[in-house]
Chains A and B, each alone.
Chain A
Amino acid sequence: MSPSNNDHRTMTLKLIVWRQKGPNEPGRFETYLAREITEHHSFLEMLDVVNEDLIKEGKEPIVYDHDCREGICGTCSQVINGLPHGGQTRTTVCQLHMRKFKDGDTIYIEPWRAKAFPILKDLVVDRGALDKIIQAGGYTSVRTGAAADGNSILISKEKADYAMDAAECIGCGACVAACPNGAAMLFTGAKVSQLAELPQGKVEAVERVNSMLGAMQECGFGNCTNHYECQAACPKGIDVKFIARLNREYLKALVF
């Protein structure tokens, strides 16, 4: 083991970045150099370095969404070389490290592209449509203070694990950005599956799947045509089986 891989080999990279002043402004690619980058920099730390340089040169820094920088809040959202989050399996942009790149690389950086996600500025898009889908029914209707003892509903470990697999979705929207149709089926499928699997969620299952699918369409998301790009792009490894489950829940709802 070499805990002290503390060498200061640095790289210089060429960045081709989407710049857009506002929602109604035209966008364009601009080229920048990222200098003095080490393999320990995260991708966002690399952009921080570039931005500090830009500010000093009196230029506008690149605006991008980020927050927790530990892969869980789902805020960061960049398409890197055509792949949401940069294409490393199960990794958000903030957890992508520059050791995955090499000196002299050219890197294209773009925002999430989807009809339902209007660009606000540079790499920042409005993902409020995902909130609209949850607002349509991504919950159980329990009043605060009205719940029975947690152990009064037994849930098998298998069901709890299945629900947890679905619940791991961080709502970043990479699935939408990766989908040729701009569909939010993986996102919606994960929430519908989580709640449909648990006894607490079954009561409202029919209403939930109908209203969430309705909201999805109203917001301008496309439909699933089984490309599975969503699963490939998902930083949390959410499985497309939850889309199948969503479809099954929808069919069940039609029968009722």
Chain B
Amino acid sequence: MILDGKSPTGPIENTWDKHRFDMKLVNPSNKRKYKVLVVGTGLAGASAAASLGELGYNVETFCYQDSPRRAHSIAAQGGINAAKNYPNDGDSIRRLFYDTVKGGDFRAREADVWRLAQVSNNIIDQCAAQGVPFARDYGGYLDNRSFGGAQVSRTFYARGLTGQQLLLGAYSALSRQIKLGTVKLYPRTEMLDLILVDGEAKGITIRDLVTGKIRTHVGDAVVLCTGGYINVYNLSTNARGCSATAIWKACKKGAYMANPCYTQIHPTCIPQAGDYQSKLTLMSESLRNDGRIWVPRKQNETRSANEIPEEDRDYYLERKYPSFGNLAPRDISSRAAKEQCDDGRGVGPGGRGVYLDFRDSIKRLSEDVIRERYGNLFEMYERITDEDGYKVPMRIYPAPHYAMGGLWVDYNCMSNLPGLFVLGEANFSVHGANRLGASALMQGLADGYFVIPYTIADYLAQTTPGMLKEDAAECKASMDEVGGSVEKLLSIGGKRTPAEFMRELGAIMWEYAGMARSAESLGQAIEKIPVLREEFWEDLKVSGTGSELNQQLENAGRVADFLEFGEMLCRDALNRDESCGAHFRVEHQTGEGEAERDDENFSYSAAWEYKGNSNEPELHKEPLTFENIHYAVRSYK
């Protein structure tokens, strides 16, 4: 089946404005007749719930955390892009659009990316008005810095805490609506099913994580803003609670999963220290503005970093990519680091690390300036490694970080199931095969503040409110199904804990579908995952009961979903027999080890339809065309 992304046609500059005019509106006095369910309260969810509540819709919003303020968007440190061109260095909406399409290796829809670039400027204005304390220069104007993959300074930031400040901005807007009564908040709840009426999304079934009660919430549209699935690798930079559960449940109800193999490995994380480890910590990419990355020239170097003289250091990014240097994009930098380590020149325990060195910038700018720019990151590094990054180079290594794939959505951010909208990291839309730095925050807020308020109206205006009642058969069936699967998890009575299964799945994913994949490795993963899944359902041990706060039960459910989703990810990676962006197939590389795209055969978004665990999913393709930016090999040399 050929999918239609419903992109507006005509000159790209006018697409969003034209589309906004063409969409239907809901009369202000009719808005209160509609109820919208927003799942997830990070940047996309909180901004969407706040904006929709403000417009007059009835909104119910759900998060698994104890407060919306804890969503994992809070941990994004570096910054948020916008095409303001305040630094007068040649930026424009078109350039941000160009960088994003090219950075994503030509695997995203042009119109979606244009819209993102266009509304990026409104986001900065909105957040500044909310009191987000962006960095300012001495004249009182907003300050900018640069990020990987771009040659202009378009990144707005709030120390190393940009995600926190933007999330707290959205959270405060949401809090205001909660107080006004337009939004009702349900914290500590997890969505465990999507309810359809005649194929349209009209409700969700949730488990109250404190009491264990399972209940349904009905509405006229469902908006999933539940983040990414990168915890399928077990160890990642995501929070422990981040899961694929909500989008996977939707997928099992017929929503298509697009491009799940586009998984970003971030080059700037603290290397893993032990098997017990529960977390890989990201050091902001902004560090690469001033830090220089290097490894020893010779293999198995035993001298400590500061004892290695200049001539024995290999600044490999500056050497290989002279025009972008340390700011080379994430996929390129990650693979380059892996190459050095695979070549026996890695540093730290197990040789899994490269140096990120501030010596030269401290000499050039002073320690005070560096402290002012990145102080909290140095502090965080010291807490974890017990090393002082001002005195010795930090050690970094790539780690799973972000999901560019997600549920398939059209230009309206609506999935193939009418009434099911998907925003932010949970959808697949704008990043293509690789996400540039500082564009995740931009997408979350763009979708929530400036896209969904317009596009959801077009759907609701053509919908009769209140089609599903809480006592309907669909609700009862969904509750029974969810209750049944909770009972099943509790009743296995095996020996292994959810964490053990997750570690095993993570190891398979990292080994066979990690930074580099091949048909052979993916084939092995596709054999191993179902075996592990079978073991899971025979040998799982979950303590406690379903009618209480039970973290083991929560984890078990998430692991069960990852065990199904991971296989689909590998199948997508196997199907995409080319290298592009963060998806690197070792069969397809240039003589110099760079990724080799196959535009002729793979210029499409892959949308997978779930057909049951024992069947292969069905592939639907959405062809991608590029009318405004011509295919080019990404070169950062």
A and B form one complex? yes
Q: Bound complex: CA of A200 vs CA of B138, how far in Å?
A: 18
Number of residues from B at the complex interface, CB < 8 A: 91
Q: With A and B bound together, what is the CA distance between A199 and B66 in angstroms? A: 31
Given A70-B75, A142-B126, A144-B453: A135 and B178 within 8 A (CB)? yes
**B449 cross-chain contacts in A, Cβ below 8 A:** 144-145
- A143–B180 alpha-carbon span in the complex (Å): 13
User: Please, which residues of chain B bring their CB within 8 A of the CB of A59?
Assistant: 543
| CB neighbours of A167 from chain B (8 A) | 133, 158, 161, 165, 168
User: How long is the Cα–Cα vector from A126 to B69 in the complex, in angstroms?
Assistant: 14
User: Number of A residues contacting the other chain (C-beta, 8 Å)?
Assistant: 85
**Least Cβ distance of B136 to chain A in Å?**
4
- A157 adjacent to B278 (CB under 8 Å): no
Instruction: Judge whether A80 is part of the interface by a CB distance below 8 angstroms.
Output: no
Whether B159 is near chain A, meaning CB under 8 Å from some CB there, is yes
State whether the Cβ of A206 lies closer than 8 Å to any Cβ in chain B.
no
Q: Is A154 an interface residue (CB 8 A)?
A: yes
Interface residue from A5, A41, A42, A154 paired with B139 (Cβ < 8 Å): A154
B175 contacts the other chain (Cβ, under 8 Å)?
Answer: yes
B197 within 8 Å of A by Cβ? no
Nearest chain A residue, comparing its CB with the CB of B178: A135
Q: How far is the CA of A146 from the CA of B122 in the complex (A)?
A: 9
Of A38, A72, A143, most B-chain CB atoms within 10 Å: A72
Given A73-B70, A155-B136, the answer on whether A201 and B131 have CB atoms closer than 8 Å is yes
Q: Name the residue of chain A whose CB is nearest to the CB of B500.
A: A52
Q: Mark B335-358, 1 if CB is under 8 A from A, else 0.
A: 000000000000111000100000
Cβ of B134: which chain A residues have Cβ within 8 Å of it? 150, 160
Q: Please measure, in the bound complex, the distance between the C-alpha atom of A168 and the C-alpha atom of B138, giving whole angstroms.
A: 21
Do the beta carbons of A44 and B278 come within 8 Å of each other? yes
Let me know if B629 is at the binding interface, CB within 8 A.
no
Contact B383 A71 (CB under 8 A): yes
Q: Which of B74, B127, B141 contacts A72 (CB 8 A)?
A: B74
Q: Once the chains are docked, how many angstroms separate the CA of A49 from the CA of B141?
A: 50
* CB–CB A52/B497 < 8 A: yes
**Interface pair B383/A95, CB less than 8 Å apart:** yes
Complex: A238 Cα to B65 Cα, angstroms: 23
- Minimum CB–CB distance for A117 against chain B, Å: 11
- CB contacts (< 8 Å) of A157 on chain B: these are 136-138, 140
Interface 9-mer from B260-268, B269-277, B562-570: B269-277
Query: In whole angstroms, how far apart are the Cα atoms of A164 and B179 in the complex?
Result: 25
Q: A45-B277, A154-B140 are in contact. Are A68 and B66 (CB under 8 A)?
A: no
A144 to chain B, nearest CB (A): 4
The listed residue (A42, A95, A141, A146) touching B380 by CB distance below 8 A is A95
B window 82-123: CB within 8 A of A: 84, 86, 122
- Check: B124 CB closer than 8 A to any chain A CB: yes
Kindly provide the distance from the CB of A131 to the nearest chain B CB, expressed in whole angstroms.
5
A35 within 8 A of B: no
B552→A61 contact, CB < 8 A: yes
Contact (Cβ within 8 A) A63 B549 = yes
Interface of A is mostly: loop
The CA of A41 and the CA of B161, in the complex, are separated in Å by 25
Q: Which residues of A in the span 151-209 have a Cβ within 8 Å of any Cβ on B? A: 151, 153-157, 160-161, 163-164, 167-168, 170-171, 194-195, 198, 200-201
Decide: A1 and B304 in contact? CB cutoff 8 A. Answer: yes
A-binding segment of B314-322, B384-392, B459-467, B577-585: B384-392
| Interchain CA distance A205-B259 in the complex, whole Å | 48
Chain A nearest CB, measured from B527 CB (Å): 28
Bound-state Cα–Cα, A71 to B282, Å = 12
Considering the complex, which residues of chain B in the window 367-391 have a beta carbon less than 8 Å from any beta carbon of chain A?
A: 379-380, 383-384, 386-387
Cα distance, A161 to B373, chains bound together (Å): 12
Q: CB distance B125 to A150 under 8 Å?
A: yes
Contact: B173 with A139, CB < 8 Å?
A: yes
Instruction: Determine if B279 is an interface residue (Cβ-Cβ < 8 Å).
Output: yes
* CB of A151 to closest CB in B, whole Å: 5
B362 to chain A, nearest CB (A): 16
| Interface of chain B residues 239 through 296 with chain A (CB within 8 A) | 239-241, 273-274, 276-279, 281-282
Query: With a CB–CB cut-off of 8 A, which chain B residues contact A131?
Result: 67-69, 175, 178, 185, 187
B349 closest partner in A (C-beta): A6
The answer to whether B67 touches A200, judged by C-beta atoms less than 8 angstroms apart, is no
Instruction: Give the chain B neighbours of A138 by CB distance below 8 A.
Output: 172, 175
> Is A72 a contact of B75 with CB atoms below 8 Å?
yes
Q: How far is the CB of B631 from chain A (nearest CB, A)?
A: 35
Contact B131 A140 (CB under 8 A): yes
Q: In whole angstroms, how far apart are the Cα atoms of A163 and B124 in the complex?
A: 17
Interface: A128 (CB within 8 A): yes
How far is the CB of B179 from the nearest CB of chain A, in Å? 4
- The listed residue (B128, B278, B304) touching A48 by CB distance below 8 A is B278
CA of A221 to CA of B506 in the docked complex: distance in angstroms?
A: 43
How far apart are the CA atoms of A231 and B421 in the complex, in Å? 43
Question: Quick one: which of A37-61 are within 8 Å of B by CB?
Answer: 38, 40-42, 44-45, 48-49, 52, 54-56, 58-61
- Residue of B125, B274, B347 ringed by the most chain A CB atoms within 10 A: B125
Contact yes or no, A163 B172, CB < 8 A: no
Which chain B positions have C-beta within 8 A of A127?
66-67
Q: How far is the CA of A128 from the CA of B130 in the complex (A)?
A: 22
Which residues on A sit within 8 Å (CB–CB) of B128?
147, 150, 153, 200
Asked whether B133 lies within 8 Å of A41 as measured between CB atoms, the reply is no
How far apart are the CA atoms of A141 and B161 in the complex, in Å?
23
In B302-326, which residues have CB < 8 Å from any A CB?
Answer: 304-306
Query: Across the interface, do B543 and A55 meet the contact criterion of CB distance under 8 Å?
Result: yes
* A44-B278, A72-B164, A120-B549 known; A198-B125 Cβ under 8 A: no
Contacts of A146 in B (CB 8 A): 129
Asked whether A4 and B348 contact (CB < 8 A) given A38-B274, A156-B136, the answer is yes
CA distance A142 to B172 in the complex (A): 10
Contact B499 A52 (CB under 8 A): yes
- B72 near A73 with CB under 8 A, answer yes
> Could you say which of A52, A61, A66 contacts B240, with CB atoms under 8 Å apart?
A66
- The residue on B at minimum CB distance from A65 is B66
Q: Which residues of B contact A142 (CB under 8 A)?
A: 126, 129-130, 173
- The verdict on A68 contacting B72 (CB below 8 Å), with A151-B86, A167-B165 known, is yes
13 contacts between A and B (CB under 8 A): A1-B304, A3-B304, A3-B349, A45-B278, A55-B497, A69-B279, A131-B175, A131-B187, A135-B175, A144-B450, A145-B122, A145-B449, A168-B161
Instruction: List 5 tightest A-B contacts by C-beta distance, closest first.
Output: A154-B140, A139-B172, A147-B129, A150-B128, A69-B279
- A-contacting residues of B (Cβ < 8 Å)? 47, 50-51, 54, 65-72, 74-75, 84, 86, 122, 124-131, 133-142, 158-159, 161, 164-165, 168, 171-173, 175-176, 178-179, 185, 187, 210, 239-241, 273-274, 276-279, 281-282, 304-306, 347-349, 353, 379-380, 383-384, 386-387, 392, 395, 449-450, 453, 495, 497, 499-500, 541, 543-544, 548-549, 551-552
Q: A95-B383, A128-B187, A151-B86 are in contact. List 18 more A-B contacts (CB 8 A).
A: A41-B276, A42-B279, A45-B276, A67-B241, A74-B69, A90-B379, A95-B384, A139-B175, A144-B51, A145-B450, A148-B129, A150-B124, A151-B141, A154-B140, A194-B133, A200-B128, A200-B131, A201-B131
